[in-house]
Amino acid sequence: MTIGAFGIGTTEFVIMGLLPNIAGDLGVSIPDAGLLVTGYALGVVVGAPLLTAALGRLPRKQTILILMAIFTAGNLLCALAPGYAVLMAARVITALAHGAFFGVASVLAADLVAKEKQAHAIALVFTGATVANVLGVPMGTVLGQNLGWRSTFWVVSGIALTAIIASAVLLPHRRQHTPPSFRTEIDVLRRRQVLLALLITVFGYGGVFTLFTFITPLLTEVTGYSQSAVSWLLILFGIGLFIGNLLAGKAADRRLMATVYVVLLALSTVLAAFYLTSRNTTTAAVSVLLLGATAFGTVPPLQMRVLAKAEGAPAVASAFNISAFNVANAGGSFIGGRIIASGLGLPLLGPVAALISLLGLLIALYSGWLDTHGKTNGHAKPEDTHDVEPAGADTK
């Protein structure tokens, strides 16, 4: 599943470095080519819950294989696309499998290990996406720029096929003892704590892309780095993603909500500090590393929080959380763009982003308070870092 996550992470972000090549080859403008990014994000938001619910009655191994087959077909169609319209359709098809894959893979990963290792197992799956940012995206960009953008999608298709073979051979055969109905899966959104968990993701992670979307102009125009240096700094960001993801996964297994609080507070602090640190090359580089670590440090605990509050329907709830991450990406990018357009200046991106993530922290604190003082679904439910029940949903 980590191999599949690597392929998905690569195909999601590598498009940004290939936009000029695609635009020139297909005869479209750069802004039109940029819509390929938007189309992919919308495909993730729509496809994650719907496809997960539609496949919810199948064994999860079979679901993973189907989703990776869709992902492979989408990338092959990208490589063969004769024109812009077909390429856009191919990107959307590929994205449909993206969110559903991470949603189901999170549940299955948690199901395959002991309860005290569930968050770490989820983090290992998402490690594929972090390594994609460190290695897959830079290598895919270089490959596409030198051998043609289609070559990148051919290689990603090969990675996807490898993931299919590995999953078919290594994932255990399990059937769901009591498969949830479509209505049961969707009804999970009526639970207050599930909705709060999704809001934590939207706002907590929304601050990341308020700043990160415009990290290149911030580092070049304010810090004074060259365009070529920014590419190396983004690798530093990817290393931060890798470290933060694994550390937060281990921490969440011990104290789930405490990890959520600490990571969101750390993320908010790093974002706010950019107002000052972006004015110096050394402190800016350190801040980029810390931004990566705190940004992806949110992923394992927030996925676990959703699973912990979605008993009986964990897969769709997990997929909805992947959609929430993409809503955060889109919303954060929009807010950051408005700040720049208003003339407030690039340095202000950090403090505004920090306020957004702090709102996510406040929601998390309220959600945690409800665990011990409030009522959820009509009965008091103390916080239990291991009350996620994917393991009980599957039997050998």
Q: What angle do CA 98, 37, 287 make, to 5 degrees?
A: 90
Cβ atoms within 10 A of the Cβ of 372, count? 10
pLDDT at 184: 64
Q: Which residues pair with 394 in a beta bridge?
A: 176
pLDDT at 181: 60
Rounded to whole angstroms, the Cα distance separating 264 from 195 reads: 18
pLDDT at 180: 60
Q: Do the domains at 1-179 and 188-379 have one common CATH topology? A: yes
Say what angle helices 2-26 and 30-54 make with each other, to 10 degrees.
150
Q: Which of 177, 165, 179 is nearest to 52 (CA)?
A: 179
pLDDT at 377: 46
The domain defined by 188-379 folds into: Growth Hormone; Chain: A; (1.20.1250)
Q: What is the pLDDT along the chain (396 residues), one digit of tens a residue?
A: 999 999 998 998 788 778 778 888 999 887 687 788 778 888 888 887 788 777 877 888 899 999 999 999 999 999 999 999 999 999 999 998 987 898 888 888 888 888 888 888 888 888 888 788 778 878 888 888 889 999 999 999 999 999 999 999 999 876 655 556 656 666 777 788 989 999 999 999 999 988 987 887 888 889 998 877 877 887 888 889 889 988 998 898 889 999 999 999 999 999 999 999 999 999 999 999 999 999 989 988 998 898 888 776 677 777 788 888 878 877 887 888 888 888 888 899 999 999 999 999 999 999 999 988 865 444 444 444 444 444 444 433
The phi and psi torsions of 379 (rounded to 5 degrees) equal: -150, 150
Question: Strand, helix or coil at 394?
Answer: strand
Where do the structural domains in the chain lie, given as residue ranges? Answer: 1-179, 188-379
Show the tokens assigned to 283.
């402190």
Rounded to whole angstroms, the Cα distance separating 218 from 224 reads: 9
Q: Which residues pair with 376 in a beta bridge?
A: 379
pLDDT at 324: 86
CA distance readout (Å), 368 to 239, 257, 313, 323, 392: 30, 7, 21, 22, 24
Say what angle helices 227-254 and 256-277 make with each other, to 10 degrees.
160
The phi and psi torsions of 225 (rounded to 5 degrees) equal: -75, 155
Q: Which of 361, 351, 120 is nearest to 263 (CA)?
A: 361
Q: Which of 356, 242, 355, 255 is nearest to 299 (CA)?
A: 242
The DSSP-derived string for 294-324 is: HHHTTHHHHHHHHHHT-TT-HHHHHHHHHHH
The answer to whether 119 and 252 are in contact (CB under 8 A) is: yes
Token pair 């073979």 is found at 165
Question: Strand, helix or coil at 57?
Answer: coil
pLDDT at 235: 83
Token pair 């929080």 is found at 305
The whole model's pTM is what? 0.75
Which architecture, in CATH terms, is 1-179? Up-down Bundle (1.20)
> Any idea how long the chain is?
396
Rounded to whole angstroms, the Cα distance separating 102 from 4 reads: 9
CA distance readout (Å), 253 to 17, 108, 223, 315: 36, 16, 38, 19
pLDDT at 183: 66
Show the tokens assigned to 306.
């959703």
pLDDT at 213: 74
The DSSP-derived string for 170-228 is: HSPP-EESSPPPHHHHHHGGG-HHHHHHHHHHHHHHHHHHHHHTTHHHIIIIII---HH
The answer to whether 71 and 156 are in contact (CB under 8 A) is: no
Q: Which of 250, 247, 252, 241 is nearest to 293 (CA)?
A: 241
Show the tokens assigned to 290.
């810390």
